[in-house]
């Protein structure tokens, strides 16, 4: 009985998995839009046809059919583009920031949000060099960060890496289809 | 009365006390989390759970439109309203409802040991189980029927707090109050 009660109490506490900020957005901006001194939010409200096109390309549709690109500019020239992608999992959502350079290649990827539950797994994947795998990738390329860290990390960290891959894939498709 | 907490072994009373304290901590942080993500007003709860179409948001248009505006890095950091979509609510319901049932059952077991009238016992147990039902029924009705049902979720949340408070207050008072005539 006591075990049952304590187990239930522990579960009651553990089921709460609030979001934790791994990197705040201004910090992400300074890392992925380095050199920009002016910023523009470009909201793309997708039509039904474009929504289907995106779904066919990446198996994903954005919340409310809106994709927001953040453009970093210097002297009115676009230095880079940043997009935040939410990726859901049974263990809670994570947010991935993907920065593109002027040529359209990935400048960097940051995992900005996790949950209390997923944070240790994500940190393990990051320590294994997950985000290094994306640097320089074209928006058309299939990210393979998870494959690169597989074997160096545990099963859950490898699963988190797959989710980050998915976020990068979504960002690449969004950029390719609706930014360029 | 199936058993009497007042006359139970001190170890049982200590267990119940720690259990109530632990659940109390969980409820406090639960309320904190609700404040962070859903809020305590019908409007904010509705904004969290409602389907976009019932909030009069635009349906996908015939043509894609682009809107640009200048922002500061600080504005980029501005958090949007946390929203729980249907898939996440399915998951939340699956995870939370069984646990709420277990918590309601545990508090009901504590209530069975309270020196209260039989009808009050029935009412208290009903309240403990009704609270999570109201909570999740409100979320689903807000999503599927009307944003006005956000008040049902709020009622469920407050009912959960009320049920816990009544059980905890009565149990602690009845378990630990000095016995009449005892030396102080």
N-terminal to C-terminal alpha carbon distance within chain A: 62
Q: Which residues of B touch A43 (CB under 8 A)?
A: 66-69
A47 CA: distance to closest CA in chain B (Å): 5
pLDDT at B167 over 60: yes
Q: How far apart are CA B137 and CA B149, in angstroms?
A: 9
Question: Using an 8 Å Cβ cutoff, are A157 and A124 in contact?
Answer: yes
Q: What is the ipTM score, two decimals?
A: 0.77
**Is pLDDT at B149 greater than 60 in this prediction?**
yes
Q: What are the 10-residue block averages of pLDDT along chain A, 180 residues in total?
A: 47 56 87 90 91 91 88 91 90 91 94 91 96 93 93 95 96 92
Where does the pLDDT of residue B56 fall: very low under 50, low under 70, confident under 90, or very high at 90 and above? Answer: very low
Q: Which helix (H) or strand (E) holds B129?
A: helix B118-144
Domain boundaries, chain A: 17-178
B1-7 average pLDDT score: 83
State pLDDT tens for residues B32-42: 878 777 788 88
Q: How many CA atoms lie within 13 A of B24 on its CB side?
A: 12
CB-CB neighbors (< 8 A) of A25 in chain B? 73, 76-77
Query: Is the Cα torsion angle B73, A96, B91, B132 positive or negative in sign?
Result: negative
Q: CB contact, 8 Å: B29 with chain A?
A: yes
Cβ-contact B90, B136 below 8 angstroms: no
Residue among B23, B30, B83 whose CB faces A9 most closely = B23
| Closest by Cβ to A48, choosing from B29, B60, B87 | B60
| Contact: B19, A9; criterion CB under 8 Å | yes
B57 vs A151, which has greater pLDDT? A151
Per-residue pLDDT tens digits for B90-139: 888 998 899 999 999 999 999 999 999 999 999 999 999 999 999 999 99
With CA atoms as reference, the chain A residue closest to B94 would be A90
pTM confidence score = 0.59
* Mean pLDDT calculated for residue range B1-18: 89
* pLDDT grade for B58, boundaries at 50, 70 and 90: low
Query: Which pLDDT does position B79 carry in this prediction?
Result: 57
| Contact state of B26 with A46 under an 8 Å Cβ cutoff | no
Helix %, strand %, coil % for chain B, to 5?
70, 5, 25
The phi-psi region of residue A75 (left if phi > 0; otherwise alpha if psi is between -120 and 50; otherwise beta) is left
Q: What is the average pLDDT value for chain B, to the nearest integer?
A: 85
Q: Assign a CATH topology to domain A17-178.
A: Sufe protein. Chain: A (3.90.1010)
């Amino acid at each position: 009985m006591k075990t049952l009660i304590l187990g239930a109490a522990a579960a009651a506490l553990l089921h709460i998995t609030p979001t934790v900020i791994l990197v705040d957005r201004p910090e992400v901006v300074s890392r992925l839009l380095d050199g920009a001194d002016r910023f523009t939010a470009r909201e793309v409200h997708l039509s039904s046809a474009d929504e289907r096109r995106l779904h066919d390309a990446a198996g994903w549709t954005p919340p409310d059919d809106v994709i927001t690109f953040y453009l970093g500019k210097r002297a009115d020239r676009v230095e880079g583009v940043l997009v935040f992608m939410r990726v859901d999992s049974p263990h809670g959502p994570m947010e991935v920031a993907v920065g593109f350079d002027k040529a359209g290649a990935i400048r960097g990827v940051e995992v900005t949000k996790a949950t209390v539950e997923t944070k240790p797994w994500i940190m393990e994947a990051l320590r294994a060099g997950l985000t290094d795998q994306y640097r320089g990738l074209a928006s058309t390329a299939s990210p393979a960060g998870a494959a690169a860290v597989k074997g160096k990390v545990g099963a859950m960290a490898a699963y988190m890496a797959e989710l980050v891959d998915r976020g990068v894939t979504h960002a690449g498709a969004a950029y390719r289809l609706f930014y360029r | 009365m199936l058993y009497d907490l007042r006359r139970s072994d001190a170890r049982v009373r200590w267990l119940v006390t720690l259990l109530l304290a632990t659940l109390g901590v969980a409820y406090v942080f639960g309320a904190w989390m609700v404040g962070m993500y859903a809020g305590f007003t019908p409007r904010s709860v509705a904004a969290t759970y409602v389907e976009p179409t019932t909030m009069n948001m635009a349906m996908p248009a015939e043509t894609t439109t682009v809107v640009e505006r200048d922002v500061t890095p600080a504005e980029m950091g501005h958090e949007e309203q946390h929203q729980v979509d249907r898939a996440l609510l399915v998951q939340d319901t699956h995870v939370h409802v069984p646990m709420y049932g277990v918590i309601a059952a545990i508090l009901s077991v504590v209530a069975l040991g309270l020196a209260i009238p039989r009808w009050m016992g029935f009412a208290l147990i009903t309240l403990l189980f009704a609270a999570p039902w109201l909570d999740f029924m409100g979320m689903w009705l807000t999503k599927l029927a009307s944003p006005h049902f956000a008040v049902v979720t709020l009622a469920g949340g407050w009912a959960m707090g009320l049920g816990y408070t009544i059980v905890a207050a009565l149990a602690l008072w009845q378990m630990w109050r000095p016995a009449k005539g005892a030396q102080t």
